[in-house]
Structure 1
């Protein structure tokens, strides 16, 4: 089974990757390679795409030499699995393209059928293709229970042109972002949030420290953490992943891409990427679990729009701290556990990247919080959510907001209609 060779850094004459979150569509994605942090705002400035440490390291030879067990699907296979990409099978749409629910024959039990999620590359040209190749390379060789499994891919030409699709294991319970939303039917319990924090830390620890090469996720956020049938959390969407620096080097220099509210300040300012950038994002995510709020929410009052700025005044006093805990939780019962988790988050959010712990150390800290919180209940899942494809078939509508930074200014795109056109 062949893997694809792809590039680690963007060439200066190439357009920069434009990215929005996978299904469900949300979040604020920035792509300007020169984005710098000034106070608490993000503004366009100049930043280097490359450094002397990363020049000449464009290819990803380690992964392309690894054996892969991915299945190669024909386009006819994928069309059949999704019933010709019927509207009722559509789960949503992200920056990559549309995602559909499909059914294929089990590769392990030929007589059985299994559900899959099929991601179809939209008409985004070279950059979308590069992200598709990255997913194939990364998920084709990694194997961990807290990473979404890539079953296979399709790469062929037909009368419509070049077809690029990815076939994943189906994650029926959606993303963590779904269940933290104020629109969630039943909020995640505190015990479930702790388990999700554990699962996500395990996934990042594997990527950073448990292989003979390091992978930096680069777009860690709640919408990229999906929940399987047993409510296990798994990292997904590796289109922006990068191989970590070679031995003796301190960082990888790349164009600055990611999601506003999650990206580490030193990465935004310099384009220098390290595993500690993921650690920062994980710290932001812990506060997301504690508060039930998004890292950046323009719909809130101005003083509350940026999560990290909003929580700061409440961290030094125990009584004040209770006020930032998600009001849907039993604040008086869980506040001690939540405060302990906030201390872990604070370690992740150290201003100087070198002082942040490694993910394996963070995982141990989270494990300690979980053990100390054993009396707060077991991580029972919330009420079973309806299948998104069933909802799409019944209602035939979808609404989302996609906020991007384009040429240093805000571009807000809101889609709200009775019917969403099939991509």
Structure 2
């Protein structure tokens, strides 16, 4: 296990860089605060990529010409301290082409900064939902689904202990210039021992993406991430956002709206009403059927009946049939279970629980800072692209906002 964050805490002052203990195992570069200030032109607003309760993310250029995203912890932010600890503990474990990589760090007095690779082509949320954006072609959607699935499978099955991301969403899937996906933002991630079936924790994540058993009880497992990924697949299939007041599922989740359409698509091969109309039927039918099967399996109410991410990868690659993925479960007809999965409860009860949960979180936000629900592209590391022109759509509010008092604001301006 990595050294705890308390071991990284410095009592020093000034702008020099302080190195964590060698037991932490960092192989990345250390930077001074002055070096990172110079790289970002004094952390100027022109280089601002994103902001949240934790602090700010700026675009920077290192002396060797490497472009980076620099995440700066807001001094005195308790939630930011926890997110910084989680990212530091997790990111040193992960090395995968479909995960955003750490370049280095800076610990200087009260300052805490992480330096990441810069991913130049914004987020999946921006490309799918940004106002005025061209329709994302089907091959791009398929490529992004497979890449992000591989990144998530690596976290769950190739890391020891496994890593539960806890905030999988379209805004946290970054896109590079070749439209390869990179999963980002490990600020809410949890390390889970292989012997643990679940971890009881405070509920944090993003509305519209939360697995029902996690939202209702705080019992977290890798299958919670699988559910969230299923919602992302539904976004790729339908072109809708999980919370979209312009659509018919204003009060109910996109998942509940999609369930009967998923069943119809898989049983009868009818995609009408489910597939994004903007595609104008320009997609590979077998690939679409495969992604629909994956989405239906991932968003099952019962966590233990959801597939592993490695199975999802194999299915998206065409190496696992829908029948194998379903494992005898009739699509669209999986049972709803309570958090212990020992008793059934009704769909209506589930909807009521989620509505109460959402109401509580929004009330907490209003008490904190009078926050509105309007939000836009919300990744920490996406390139500035849309705020200045009014682009960006509403994205789900996060339950981490309850403690942070933050919204996912329009953070994409003109590229510098």
User: Shared fold by TM > 0.5?
Assistant: yes
Q: Give the match for residue 324 of structure 1.
A: 274
Distance of 1:405 and 1:223 partners within structure 2: 15
Q: With CA pairs under 8 Å and 6+ residues apart, which has the higher RCO, 1 or 2?
A: 1
Q: Give the match for residue 32 of structure 2.
A: 74
Q: 1:97 to 1:6 in 2, by over 3 A?
A: same
Query: Any idea what SS the aligned residue of 1:226 has?
Result: strand
The equivalent position to 1:89 in structure 2, one of 24, 29, 47, is 47
Q: Which runs of 5+ in 1 are unaligned?
A: 8-63, 107-112, 373-386
Distance of 1:389 and 1:413 partners within structure 2: 17
Q: Give the match for residue 51 of structure 1.
A: none
Q: Give the match for residue 205 of structure 1.
A: 153
- How does 1:14-413 map onto structure 2 within 5 Å? 67-106=25-64, 113-123=65-75, 125-157=77-109, 162-247=110-195, 249-301=196-248, 306-318=253-265, 321-331=271-281, 333-368=283-318, 388-389=383-384, 395=388, 403=397
Q: CA deviation at 1:396?
A: 9.1
Distance of 2:290 and 2:99 partners within structure 1: 26
Tell me, yes or no, if the aligned pair for 1:203 and 1:234 is still in contact at 8 Å.
yes
Q: 1:399 to 1:145 in 2, by over 3 A?
A: closer
Distance of 2:222 and 2:398 partners within structure 1: 24
Query: Any idea what SS the aligned residue of 1:120 has?
Result: strand
Distance of 2:385 and 2:217 partners within structure 1: 45
Distance of 2:124 and 2:35 partners within structure 1: 30
Distance of 1:95 and 1:407 partners within structure 2: 8
Distance of 2:191 and 2:149 partners within structure 1: 18
Aligned length: 333
Q: CA deviation at 1:152?
A: 1.1
Q: 1:153 to 1:198 in 2, by over 3 A?
A: same
Distance of 2:33 and 2:320 partners within structure 1: 45
Q: TM-score, normalised by structure 1?
A: 0.70
Structure with the higher fraction of residues in strand conformation = 1
Query: Any idea what SS the aligned residue of 1:368 has?
Result: coil
Q: 1:256 to 1:304 in 2, by over 3 A?
A: closer
Query: Any idea what SS the aligned residue of 1:324 has?
Result: coil
Query: Any idea what SS the aligned residue of 1:118 has?
Result: strand
Tell me, yes or no, if the aligned pair for 2:3 and 2:23 is still in contact at 8 Å.
no
Deviation by residue 1:355-406 (Cα, 9 ceiling, x = unmatched)? 211111111011118999xxxxxxxxxxxxxx955877xx598887674569
- C-alpha RMSD over aligned residues: 3.4
Distance of 1:294 and 1:225 partners within structure 2: 14
Q: Give the match for residue 365 of structure 2.
A: none
Query: Any idea what SS the aligned residue of 2:66 has?
Result: strand
Q: CA deviation at 1:76?
A: 0.4
Which deviates further from its counterpart, 147-156 or 116-125? 116-125
Q: CA deviation at 1:4?
A: 4.7
Q: Which runs of 5+ in 2 are unaligned?
A: 7-21, 323-381
Deviation by residue 1:227-267 (Cα, 9 ceiling, x = unmatched)? 123221111000111111342x3211111111111111111
Q: 1:193 to 1:413 in 2, by over 3 A?
A: closer
Distance of 1:76 and 1:397 partners within structure 2: 34
Q: 1:360 to 1:246 in 2, by over 3 A?
A: closer
Query: Any idea what SS the aligned residue of 1:343 has?
Result: helix
Q: 1:215 to 1:324 in 2, by over 3 A?
A: same
Q: 1:167 to 1:351 in 2, by over 3 A?
A: same
Tell me, yes or no, if the aligned pair for 1:194 and 1:370 is still in contact at 8 Å.
no
Distance of 1:187 and 1:324 partners within structure 2: 16
